[in-house]
Structure 1
Amino acid sequence: MKDVVIISLLGLNMLFKLFDIIADTQLGVPELHILQESILVLLTAIGTIYLSYDLIRRSRETKKLAKQLINADKKIDNMSSHMRSARQEYSKAVSTQFHTWSFTKSEQQVAFLLLKGLSFKEIAEVRQTKEKTVRQQASSIYGKATVDGRHTFCAWFMEDFIQEHDQDLVNNYQ
């Protein structure tokens, strides 16, 4: 908006100067003065044209960026819904595996929190139990899952997701 006002003022200034030059010519004002005013009108015209061009260019860029932003928002919405769906499927797969390993309800809760990366202390606070109880449940979980600890337990669930990428890494190093 500010640019439009500036361009309009420059245009009006140029128009009034042009009328002044015409009046000066009719009044017989010295040619040097008319030449100076003509140069000022020319410079004002150049500035007005440049600002107009720049305003139009920026306006087009802004519209283009707005369209790109709308498209990006749509892609994010699609990705978010896809991620929600994938998360739900993954949670179901994890729950199914917990049932296969015969985890108790408490062990399932602790196992989910372990997979989310919470510490024993944090899990104890969330479940309002003692940290020692959480450690014992974690040991039971690791035993039933036949893994040797938290990292192996978490890796067990991630292995299938990174297996294809892992194979690409092996092929790149050979």
Structure 2
Amino acid sequence: MKDWLMITLLTVIMVLNFLDVLSDLELGVPRWHIIQETLLVTLSALGALYIGTDLLNRTRKIRQLANQLKRADTRICNISSRMQAARQEYTQAVQQQFELWSLTRSEQEVALLLLKGLSFKEISGVRSTKEKTVRQQASSIYTKAGVDGRHSFCAWFMEDFIQPAPESNAQAA
């Protein structure tokens, strides 16, 4: 929203300065003043174009990321019934743990996206929030979970699922 406001503001400045340049040409204003205002028109147009292009690129990337997440969920749904049952149990265990930690609904959403491996920037794009908000929510999640960061948070959920390899006969001897 802030980007569209900036684009609109720059466009308004550009149009008003352009009209002023036309008016100044008719009034015979000194050339240096015309050049200065023409430069403002040009810079406003370039700024609006840059911000607009950046906004479109970020929007496209966010849509691509959302589609990738949907495709990943579809691929996961095409797994065996045994794996689906395990996935469902794991999802329930994760949700129960989130409730034990008293994570808010927003924190739960961020926590799930963290577990899926998304960056703060990607999460903010998917959730249409500021990256700073996601960082604050992640910090709150880590505090409530009693871990010191993303890696520890993700490891907390994997630790009980990965069993150590059985010792080989050579090591036992």
**TM-score when normalising by structure 1:** 0.51
Which residue in the other structure is 1:122 paired with? 122
Q: Could you tell me which residue of structure 2 aligns to residue 168 of structure 1?
A: 166
Q: How does 1:10-89 map to 2 (within 5 A)?
A: 80-89=80-89
Runs of 4+ in 1 over 4 A off after TM superposition: 169-174
CA distance in 1, matches of 2:112, 2:141: 11
Summarize the Cα distance change of 1:168–1:105 in structure 2 as closer, same or farther, 3 Å threshold: same
1:161 match: secondary structure: coil
Q: Structure 2: where are the runs of 5+ without partners? A: 1-77
Q: Which amino acid in structure 1 is aligned with residue 161 of structure 2?
A: F
Alpha-carbon distance, 1:168 to partner? 2.6
- Cα distance 1:169–1:98, how it changes in 2: closer, same or farther (>3 A)? farther
Cα distance per residue 1:87-132 (max 9 Å; x no partner):
1110000000000000000000000000000110110011000101
Bigger Rg over Cα: 1
Q: Identity, % of aligned pairs?
A: 69
Bigger RCO of structures 1 and 2 (CA < 8 A, at least 6 apart)? 2
The 3-state SS of whatever aligns with 2:151 is: helix
Amino acid at match of 1:157: F
Normalised by the length of structure 2, the TM-score is 0.51
C-alpha displacement at 1:85, in angstroms?
A: 1.1
Task: List per-residue Cα deviations over 1:129-166 (Å, max 9, x = no partner).
Answer: 0101000000000000000000000000000011x2x2
Which residue in 1 is equivalent to 2:156? 156
Match of 1:136 in 2: 136
Shift of 1:172: 7.0
Structure 1: runs of 5 or more not aligned: 1-77
Letter in 2 for 1:131: E
CA RMSD, aligned part only?
2.4
